[in-house]
Structure 1
């Protein structure tokens, strides 16, 4: 029984080590730009809209208004979703230094530059 427990502990340690060394792939800016380019298939358009909306919604949900000043301020009436995504595609194509960066961070930076908050 003791040998079985030692064997199970060794397998568990090896499994944890293998998982710790596994690199988690994140969507790059270039991959998101390629997915969001028009004309897009219905599948890629759905992914693009869902992914970019989730990034913005996460920003809204996680930013505590009393502790973190907003840095993205969309004035109403807001531009269409397709217009904003089209502008992001142009941004990604002209800023090639961001191509290999994680898409979520670059998209938030794009939104901050496209929709800056008024200086107080």
Structure 2
């Protein structure tokens, strides 16, 4: 196959390879109404003008929701839906696993991010039932 005008093809290829074809983070993403918004923030490119804010928001949202869960279930073992393994994985490892998992489950992208976060955590780190 011979291209008559190869310049557009190479321009598209260059954009794809450099990641410039990925959409930038938007102001709407920071509202975090849907899981897709949070995933956009968590996967922001270092070239994105909002990169620093996006990554900090991503980590803050996920860690904050988890800390709330820990506080709410601290004295109530029977209501816990997830239990972390020993040794505990690092925050970055869990966030990376969450992002990867969410990208593999597009059916949850329109859910509230906190719902998707705990769906992932409960699947990944379920508590063992002791009856």
Structure 1 length normalisation: TM-score?
A: 0.70
- Select 1:36's aligned residue among 36, 42, 47: 42
Whole-angstrom CA distance in 1 between matches of 2:119 and 2:92: 18
**5+ long unaligned stretches in structure 1:** 1-24
- Alpha-carbon offset, residue 36 of structure 1: 0.7
Q: Radius of gyration: which is bigger?
A: 1
Whole-angstrom CA distance in 1 between matches of 2:72 and 2:102: 25
Alignment of 1:44-83 (within 5 A): 44-63=54-73, 65-66=75-76, 68-83=78-93
- Alpha-carbon offset, residue 82 of structure 1: 1.2
Q: Name the CA shift for 1:67/1:91 in 2 (closer, same or farther; >3 Å).
A: closer
- Name the SS for the 1:82 alignment partner: helix
Whole-angstrom CA distance in 2 between matches of 1:69 and 1:34: 31
* CA root-mean-square deviation: 2.0
- Alpha-carbon offset, residue 105 of structure 1: 1.0
Structure 2 length normalisation: TM-score?
A: 0.65
Question: Retained in 1: the 8 A contact 2:32–2:38?
Answer: no
Whole-angstrom CA distance in 1 between matches of 2:77 and 2:86: 24
Question: Retained in 2: the 8 A contact 1:37–1:86?
Answer: no
Structure with greater contact order relative to length (CA < 8 Å, sep ≥ 6): 1
